[in-house]
Structure 1
Amino acid sequence: MWFSWRAFENIVVVCLCFAAIHPVTASVSVVDLLSSSPDFTILIRVLQRTGLIPVLNMDRNITFFAPPNSVLEKVPPSVDLPTLLRYLIVTDPIVSTNFTEHEQERVFFSELRAPAAPDFPTPIKISRIRSVTGAPDDGTGHRLKIGDANILRHDWLADNGVIHVIDRLVDIPETLCHEILERASQAGNTGFMSRIFLMHPWICILLAESQDTATALLPVNNAFSVFSDIELAYILSSGGHDDRLKLLGEHFLYSSIYRQNDTNGFGNIYPALSGSLVNMEATDNGRIRFNGEVNSLETDLIYQNGVIHTLPSLLTSYEYFEFTPRKYLHGLNAIRFINELEFHELDDNLDSLTARQTIFAPIDSSNTDSPSSDNTLLYHYSHFALPNLENRVIPSKLQLDSMNAFFQHVKVTNTKDGVFINNYARVCQQPVVVGETVIIAIDRPLLLPQSLSLVAGSLANELISVGIFRQLGLLDDLQVRGWTIFVPDDSAWESIGSVRKYFLKSPEIARQLFYSLMLKTPIYFDDITDNEHHYQDVAGNEITLRRGDSLDSVIITAPFTSYSQTIMLSDTDVLFDSGVIHTVKSVPIPEYIRITPRQLLKAEDVNVYVDLLDTTDLHSPVLADSSQYIILAPIDTALVFDNITAGMVNLVTQLGLHVLRRRSIRAGTFLDGISVYDSLVPGISMQVIQSMRDEYYILRIRSAQLTEMRLPVRILSHGQSTDGAEVYVVDRVLPMSLLVPIAGPKSWWQRHGVLVALGAAAGILTISVLSLFWFWVIFQGGRTWTRHRLITERMKNLIPFNRFQHNQPHINDMIISEESEDEDDDDDASENTPFLTSGNLGSRVTGEGAVASAEDTASTAERVELPTRTD
C-alpha cells in the first residue's frame, strides 16, 4: 500500500508548522462595521429584533443599504421595517466599479421574497449618476442611487460584503398588475395599452395563482395612431375580443426579462404569450431593441412579480389585425344590427374585403329598434358601392314581387340640415371604406317604403293629381307593380286652367292622360341619360326618355311621330313599395288626346256664349278643332245681364269683338302683353298693357282712326287647346260703345268742331275779362289824381285866408263837407268840380273861379305862417 502512516504524519507536521508561521485572524463582518459607528445604534437594535443579524454575518458577497439613525428616527410605527430592511439586502456585491460606460443602471435581487412571487427574489434597481457639486460621490464624480434614496457613503467594505449608507428608506415595488391598473386609471402615456390589459383580468389572475413573473411590453398611446378612431373603438368593443388577445399575446412575455439578460450582446429569443418569439437585444445606450427594429423608451421598470418596458410602436403590423366590414360595424357601435345579421345568416359578406357593397348601418341607440326581418335587413344592403353622399338613389338587395322582380332602391338626400336616407334616417358621419365595402352609419334603421296610397297622400304639393288618381281608382296597390309615375304638381294644373277642369269632367280622357304618365318599369332619375331609352306606358304606348338641356328636365318623345315634350321635374325619386314617383312642373298631354276650344268652354260652363256663336257663321272658324283664335268668352251671367240675345241685329259684331287673331308669328300668350291682336271687328285691335292683382288686367283697345280706350277686365280662367287656341273666361261683356267712335267716316268739322267752339268761347271770355280790368284801372286812377290836385290847390289858398276868417270851419271839416256834397250832387255838377263851404261863401263856383278868388285874396292879405300841428 503506497499510502503509509509515515507519510500522513509528515503532512500533519507540515500543516502545523504552516499554521504556526501564519496565525488565523478574526474577520470583520457587515454587522461589525455597523456596530463600530454610533450612527447605526437604532439599526442594530432593529436587526437584532428582526433576526437579520445572522443573515448579515453569514451571507457572503452581499450589499446592504444601511439607513442611519437620522432616517430611522423619522419612520412611523406603522412601517414594516423588517420587510424594508430585508429588501435593502442585495445578494450581490455592488460597488461603483460594477457599472460600465454603457451601463449606468442595473437590476439586482434582494433577500426579500415578495408575496406576489414568493419563489423569486424581489428586484431592486441601482443607478449610477453624475454627482452634483458638494454631494458625496464614489471618487470618480459619480454616485449611486437606489430608487429615491441617495448614497451618503459609498463602498464601505466588510469581509463579507459592502455597505452603502442611504438618506431614506426605499419602498418595496408594487405588483405588475397594480401598476398597469394605475396607468390605465391615470390615462397616462401608456393608458390605452393598459386598458386593454385590464379588459382581460384573467391574465393577472393567472399570474397571481401561478406566483410567477412576467414581462409586459407597453406601447405608448402614439403607437396606436396607425389605427383610425373606428378601428380603436373596435379593439375596445366586445367584437374586438380576439384581436385584443392577439395584441396582448404579442406584448406579454413569460418570466421577467431585463436588459442585462443579454450577456453576450447578440440578443436572446423569448416566447410570448401568443406563441410567437420575441428577440431582445441590449443596445449601447442602455435600451433594448425588440425584433431588431423597435427600441424601448423606458427600460427595466421593476415590480414585485415582473418588469415593464415601454415601446414607441407596436411589435405587430397594421395588416396583422385584418380589419373587415364586420370589425368596422363593431367599431361604429352597430352591435344589434350585426347580431340580427348573424341570427338571420345574412352576414356572409361581412368578412370579405373584395365584396363590392354599401351597408347602411344603424348604430345602437336606446330609443330605436334594430331591423328584425330578412326584408328589412336586406334593405340595408346594396350591391352598389356608394362613392359619396350626393343626391342619388341606389339599389338595395331587397327584391320583392311587388317590384315585379326589380330591386327596391334607397334614396340619399343631401340637405342643409344634413344627409338623410329615405328622408328619414340621418347619416351620422362620412362613409367608411373597408376594402370594396362602403359603410354608412345612420341614427336609426331604415323603414321599407310605404304603399302608393300612403305615399301619394303625403305629397303636399300634388293634391290635385292625387285626387284625380283616387277618383279614377289608380291608387290600387295590387294593380301597381314596379311602375314609374310622373305626378304633376298643383302649380302645373293651375297653369293650364280650363284644361284641368276639362279633365276633371271627362274621366275617360283623364284616365288616358294618367295612363300616359305611368310606365311599367321603375325608372330612377339617374337612369335617365342623354341617350334615349325606350319604355312602355300602362296603356301600351311606346315612348322614349332622355335628359333635357337643364339638369332637372326630361324630354318625352313618342316614337314615329313629331310629338315631343320637355317636362321640368320638381321632386325626384319618391319611393313607394312597388315603384317610384317623380313630380313634374307641367302636365305633359300626349298627342292623341285632342282638346278643342268648344271643350274648354264647356268645361268652364260658358254655355250662352257658345250657343250664341252657334247661331252665327262665326262658330265654324272660332270653335273649330284646329282654331288658333284668342277667345275672350264672357260668363253666362254677364251676357244675360247685358241682354245679349240671338235676336240682336249686330250680334255678329258683338261676338266678333271678343275674338282676336294673331298678326304674325306667335310670341307668348295674350296675357303676356307682348303682341297686339286684331279682333274680328275690322279696325279694332287689343293688347294687355298691365297686370293687376286678383287676375285683373288692363286692355288697351285701339281703332283704325287712332282712338283708344282702356278697359279693366278680370280673367276668371284660361286654357289652351291642342292646336293653340287660347280661351279666356272674362267677367264682363266688351261694350258696344267701343264701336261708336268708329261707326263711319266723319267730316273735319264733326271731328274737330267741338274743340274749335270751346277754343273760341275761351278766347272771347279772356278778352272780356282783360278789357274790364283795364277800364277799371284807367277810370279809377284818373278820378283819384284829379281830386288830389284840386284839394292841394284849395289848401294853398285857404291857409292865408283863415287868418281873417276866424269864424270859418276847420279845413278838415271843409274838405269832408265838400266830398259829401260832391257825392250827393252828381247829376248837377261835373265829376271834376268840387264843392267848398266856408262862412258866407255858399255859392257854387267852378274850379277856375275858386282858384281866382283865392289868388285875389292872397294879394291883399298878409301872409302869416301857421304853426305846425303837433297833435
Structure 2
Amino acid sequence: MRLSAPFITGFCGLLLASPAPTMASVSIVDLLSSSPDFTLLVRVLQRTGLIPVLNMARNVTFFAPSDEVLKNLPTDFDIPTLLQYLIITDPIVSSNMTEEEAVYFSYLRAPAAPDVPLPLRVQHLLPSHQGTADDAGMQLVIGSGAAKVVRHDWVADNGIIQVVDAIVPLPGTLCEAVTGSANQGDIRLFSQLFVKHPMICFLLQYAQDTATLLVPVDSAFDVLNDVELTYLMVNAGHDDRLRFLGSHFLYSSVYRQNDTLGLGTNVPTMSGALVNIKKSERGIRFNGQVDAIESDVVFQNGVIHTLPSFLTPWSFFEFSPRKYLYGLNATRFTDELLFHIYDSVLDDTNRVQTIFAPVDAEEADMPVSAKTLEYHFTDSLIDNLNGSLIVPSRLSLPSLRGRHQHIRLTIDEDGEFWVDGKSKVLRAPLLIGNTAIIPIDRALDLPPSLHYAAGSIFDARTTLQIFESLGLFDDDVVKGSTIFFPEDSAWEKLGSVAKFILSSSEVVREVLQSLMLTEPVYSSDFSRAKPSDYATAAGTRVSIKTDNSKTSIEFKMGNIETVASLGSTDILFDGGVVHTISSIPFPESINITPRQLLDAEHLTSFVELLESASLAKDVIADDSQYIILAPANSVLAVSNITTATVGLATQMGLHILSRRSTPRGSFLSGLSVYDTLVSGVHVSILSELSDDMYELRIVKHPLMESIQPIRVLSSGVSTSGAEIYVIDRVLPVSALTTVGNPPWWQAPGVLVGLGALGGILSMVLIGLFWLLIIYRGGKIWRHRQALGGNDKSFVRFRRSFSGSGQSIIINANGSDEDDDEEDDAISEDTPFLGRAASGRLGSRVNIDFGDVDEDAEGVELPSRSNEHSRV
C-alpha cells in the first residue's frame, strides 16, 4: 500500500522545517536489518515506502513488531497504516519516563482532520503493577493495553526502537466510543444521553480540531432521583440534556502532561461555561474539586477523561413541577396543562400545592377541559400517605354554590391507595419545592350527579327508591348539600315505624329532608370536641358531633338525641357529599302514636277487640306507654277470638303489659318483668330461641307459671315510648288456670292430700298426748292417796328452758309430813318425769320433759288431793 497524500505532505513539511540531517552511521532501518527477527518487517517497510521516512526521521520512536507478530496478523489488516501509527514523533526511553502514562502523537493523521496527528497512549508500569515481564524493571504498554514492549530502548542514531509483541489497532472516534457504551460499561448513563444528540457526533466528524469529553461515570448520577433522570432522557428534557452534555464537552484536547495545566487553565465548554483545569497529585483536577478517575483515553478526534461526579451542581437543572411531571411520564397531562396556560403553576416551586398526575397509558382518557384539570390540584401539601383523607380541590363549582369540590383518598385492605375510588396511586408523593406530585394510573373524573353517585350505595336501596319517588334527586334540591343516607338496616330496625313513615309521603319527606344539610359537610369537618349546628332542608336545625374514631355520629334534633353508626363516608357528587348511617333520627315535629303503628301493621281486628273490651281508650292513647303484644289478624281469626268471646277483657288484658319501673332494656331483652292488665299475672321474656323466636313466661303466683313460645313478626316504638310487637299467636286464657307443669309435690291434689294427712296425724298425736297425761295424773293421785294426801290436791306444772335444754318445773304441794319413801314412789318408768333431785314433797324440782309442744303450757294434770301447787 502506498502512503497517503496527507501523510507525505505532512512528513515532507516536517523535513523542510528541520535542519539538514547528518548521515547517521547506524539508523533504525540498519538495526532492524541486522536482526533476522525483522526480515519480514523490513520488506514490508520497503514495499510501503516507509524506509526513507525512517532513515530521514530524527528523534523518533518506532514500536516495531517482530516477524512473528506480522505473520499472525489477519489478512484484512491495513499493515501500512498501522505501521505509520507506530512511528512516534518523540523519543521514548523507558528509563527517562517520569509519568506513569503519557500521550504521544504518531506520524499518522486523523482521517477527518489531516492536520491533527493521531495520539497514542504509553503506559509506564512499575514493577509492582507488572504481571510477568521478560526484562526486569519498568515495562511499557502502548495503546489500550494491546501491546507490550518486549525489548526496551534499542537505540539508533536517529531514534529509539521499542520492540512490541502485538500490532496496536487504530483508535476509534469519540462518538464511536461513547455511543458504543450506551448499553454497557460504567459510562452507560452518560452515553444514553449522548446518543440522543447525533448532531454532536456530526460536528465532531467534520471538525478540523480535536475535542475532550469529560464523562461522569454512572455512580455520579446518584445525585438525581429516578424521576429527574428520566426527565433528562425524554424528549421534554432536550434542552437540559444538551446543556448538561455541553458543560462536559471541551473544544480542544486536554492531556495530563500539558505544560499549561499546572497554571490552572480555563477552557471553554460547548455550553459556554469555563472549566478550570490543572494538574494534581492524582492526575487532572477540574474546577478545583473533581479529580479524574481515568485520564487520557485517546481516540482519533479527541480524548476522554472519566469523572466521579458532575462538573455542574444539582441546581444546574432547575427542576420544577413541570419537569417532574415529564419525568413521571405524565406527558399528555402536562401538555394539556400548558395548552391551558398553566405555566406559572407548573414552574413555581414555592407554591404550596399537590398535583394528582395521571401518567400516560394506552387508550386512557385524558382531561381536556380547564375545569377537569383544576380538579387535579389541591392547595394543600400532601407529603405522605398514611390513611384515608379528604381534601378540597382547586375546582369551585356553581352546583356547590361556589364551594370547592373535594378529592377523596382511601386505602384498601391490601394497603393500596385510591383517589375517588377509581384512580390508583402508583407511588408515594414526590416533593419538588413546596409542591407534591402524586402519580395516578388514570385521570380523575368529576363527581357525578347524586342519582349516579348514590346508585353505588348497595346497602341503601330503600332510601334510593324513596328519593326517586319523591323527586329528591333534583339538582336544585340537593345543590350544595350534605345528605345522610339511612341504610336498609336502619329502616329494618324501625319495623312498624318504618311502615308508618313510608305510608305517608309528607312524613317520609320531612324525615329525609331533616337529614339533608344545606351545606357540604365532609368527614374532616366532623367535630369530636363539641357539636356543630347546621340548618336542614326541612327548615329545622340539627346538632352533630362524632366520636374519636369517627365511627359513630350523634344527632340532636331539639330534645331528641340519636346515635348512629357511620357507614360509607364522603361519597362525592356534583352538588355535595353523602354519608350513610345505621339509624334514622327523627325531628321533634314527627309524632308517632300507638294507633298509627297498629294501623301501619293493619291490625284492625286487634284494635276492634280492644275497643270491645273497653281498653282502647287507655292502651292506644297518644301518650300511652304500654307494651302491646298484638296478634295478627289471621292469628285472631284462626283462634276464633271475636267481640263475642266470653272473658274478652281478660283475654285482651293478657296482651297488654305495663311497666313496674323504668326498664333496663326493651321488652325483648328479658331484663325486666311486666304486669299485665289481668290482676296478679305478670310476664317476661325467658330466653331467645332464635331470630325473632322467644320463650314468654307467664306467672300467676310463685307456684303457677306457663311457658309460651312466640314469634315476633314486627315491632315498633311510638314517640311516647309505647312498644308494639306483632306476634304469631294468641296468649291463651287457659294459661291462668293450667299454668305450667309444676313439680309433683306442687300439684294441687297432692298438696291437699298431704295437708289432710298432716292434720290427721296431728290429731292422733294430740289425743295420745292427753291420754298419757290423764294416765300419769291418775297414777300420781293414787300415789298421793297412799301418802295421805286429800282428794283435792293437784299438781300444776309448766315448762321452762335452761341453758342445757328443755325441762319442766313442778311444784308439788301435799301434807307437811316428811316421807322419804316418796322418792321411790316416782320411779324411772313414770311417764314424762325423771327422778327428783330431792325426796321431799313440796320442794321445787326440775324434771327433763323431752320435746314438748309449745302450746302445752297451762296443761293441768288431775289429782285426787285437794292441795294446790302453783307454778
Q: With structure 2 as the length reference, what TM-score do the two structures score?
A: 0.80
Q: Which of 96, 105, 109 is equivalent to 1:113?
A: 109
**Structure 2: how far apart are the matches of 1:750 and 1:277?**
119
Q: Aligned partners of 1:549, 1:145: CA distance in 2, in Å?
A: 78
Note the C-alpha offset of 1:615. Answer: 3.5
TM-superposed deviation, 1:70: 1.7
Alpha-carbon displacement from aligned partner over 1:231-271 (angstroms, at most 9, x marks no partner): 11111122211221121111111111111114462331111
SS in 2 for 1:479: helix
Q: Which residue of 2 aligns with 1:21?
A: none
Deviation, 1:580, is 0.6
Residue 645 of structure 1 and its aligned partner are, at CA, apart by 2.6
Partner of 1:95: 93
Tell me how far apart the structure 2 counterparts of residues 338 and 549 of structure 1 sit (CA, whole Å): 41
**Hey, what's the Cα distance between the residues in 2 that align with 1:407 and 1:88?**
78
Q: Where does residue 575 of structure 1 map in the other structure?
A: 572
Deviates further, 524-533 or 497-506: 524-533
Tell me if structure 1 keeps the 8 A contact 2:481–2:516.
yes
SS at 2:180 equivalent:
helix
Task: Please list the CA deviations of residues 422-453 of structure 1 after superposition, one character each: whole Å capped at 9, or x if unmatched.
Answer: 11111111111221112111111111111111
Q: Is the 8 A contact 1:596 1:625 kept in 2?
A: yes
Task: Report the CA distance shift for 1:118/1:635 in structure 2 as closer, same or farther (over 3 A).
Answer: same
Contact 1:116 1:175 in 2 (8 A): no
Q: Is the 8 Å Cα contact of residues 112 and 207 (structure 2) preserved in structure 1?
A: no
Residues 1:712 and 2:714 aligned together? no
Q: Any conservation in 2 of the 1:717–1:728 contact (CA below 8 Å)?
A: yes
Residue 599 of structure 1: how far off its partner (Å)? 0.7
Deviation at 1:741, TM superposition (A): 4.5
**Aligned position for 1:679:** 676
Shift of 1:549: 5.2
* 1:374 counterpart residue number: 370
Name the counterpart of 2:207: 210
Partner in structure 1 of residue 160 of structure 2: 162
Taking a change above 3 Å as real, the CA distance of residues 116 and 98 of structure 1, as seen in their structure-2 partners, is farther
1:847 maps to what in 2? none
Q: How does 1:81-480 map to 2 (within 5 A)?
A: 81-100=79-98, 103-131=99-127, 135-137=133-135, 141-147=137-143, 148-186=146-184, 188-263=185-260, 265-285=262-282, 287-389=283-385, 390-417=387-414, 418-480=416-478
Q: 2: distance between equivalents of 1:258 and 1:411?
A: 61
List aligned pairs for 1:632-781, cutoff 5 A: 632-741=629-738, 751-753=748-750, 756=753
Q: Deviations over 1:590-635 (max 9, x none)?
A: 1221111111110000111112223444223311222221110111
Matching residue's letter, 2:320: T
After superposition, the Cα gap between the structure-2 partners of 1:262 and 1:633, relative to the gap in structure 1 and judged at 3 Å, is farther
Secondary structure (helix, strand or coil) at the match of 2:570 reads strand
In structure 2, what residue type is equivalent to 1:717?
S
Task: Tell me if the contact between 2:383 and 2:431 (Cα under 8 Å) persists in the aligned partners.
Answer: no
Match for residue 553 of structure 2?
A: 554
Equivalent residues in 2 for 1:469-548, closer than 5 Å: 469-529=467-527, 530-548=529-547
Q: Determine if contact 1:548/1:566 at 8 Å carries over to the other structure.
A: no
Asked if the contact 1:262/1:282 (under 8 Å) is kept, the reply is no
| 1:305-353 deviations in Å (ceiling 9; x for gaps) | 1111111111111122222111111111111111111112234311111
When residues 108 and 387 of structure 1 are mapped into structure 2, their CA distance, relative to the original with a 3 A threshold, is: closer
User: What is the SS of the residue equivalent to 2:642?
Assistant: coil
Q: How does 1:53-92 map onto structure 2 within 5 Å?
A: 53-92=51-90
Q: Helix, strand or coil for the counterpart of 1:185?
A: coil
The change in CA–CA distance for 1:264 and 1:644 in structure 2 (over 3 A counts) is closer
Specify which structure has the higher proportion of helix. 1
Distance 2:756 2:709 in 1: 33
Q: 3-state SS of the aligned residue for 1:243?
A: helix
> Which structure 1 residue ranges, 4+ long, deviate > 6 Å from structure 2?
757-760
State the Cα distance separating 1:194 from its structure 2 match. 1.0
Residues 232 and 702 from structure 1, CA distance in 2 versus in 1: closer, same or farther, beyond 3 angstroms? same
Structure 1 residue 754: deviation in Å? 7.9
Displacement of 1:550 after TM fit? Answer: 4.7
**Cα pair distance change 1:476/1:397, threshold 3 Å:** same
Equivalent-residue separation in structure 2 for 1:523 and 1:82 (angstroms): 88
Cα distance change on mapping 1:40 and 1:690 into 2, 3 Å:
same
**Shift of residue 77 of structure 1?**
2.3
Q: Which has the higher Rg, Structure 1 or Structure 2?
A: 1
The equivalent residue for 1:765 is none
With 482-491 and 545-554 compared, the bigger mean Cα shift is at 545-554
1:65–1:166 contact (8 Å) kept in structure 2: yes
- Equivalent pairs, count: 725
How far apart are 1:29 and its partner, in Å? 2.2
1:28 match: secondary structure: coil
- Inter-partner Cα distance in structure 1 for 2:734 and 2:447: 64
- Which blocks of at least 5 consecutive residues in structure 1 are unaligned? 1-23, 761-871
The 1-side partners of 2:548 and 2:73 are apart by 93
1:689·1:699 contact (CA, 8 Å) conserved in 2?
yes
CA deviation vs aligned residue, 1:342-377 (integer Å, no higher than 9, x gap): 112234311111111111111111131211212221
Letter in 1 for 2:81: T
Structure 1 position 682, deviation (Å): 1.4
Q: Check conservation: 1:68, 1:165, Cα contact below 8 A.
A: yes
What is the CA distance between 1:162 and its match in structure 2? 1.2
Distance (whole Å) between structure 2 residues aligned to residue 61 and residue 203 of structure 1: 37
TM-score under structure 1 length normalisation: 0.80
- Contact 1:573–1:580 (8 Å) recurs in 2: yes
The alpha-carbon deviation at position 740 of structure 1 amounts to 2.2
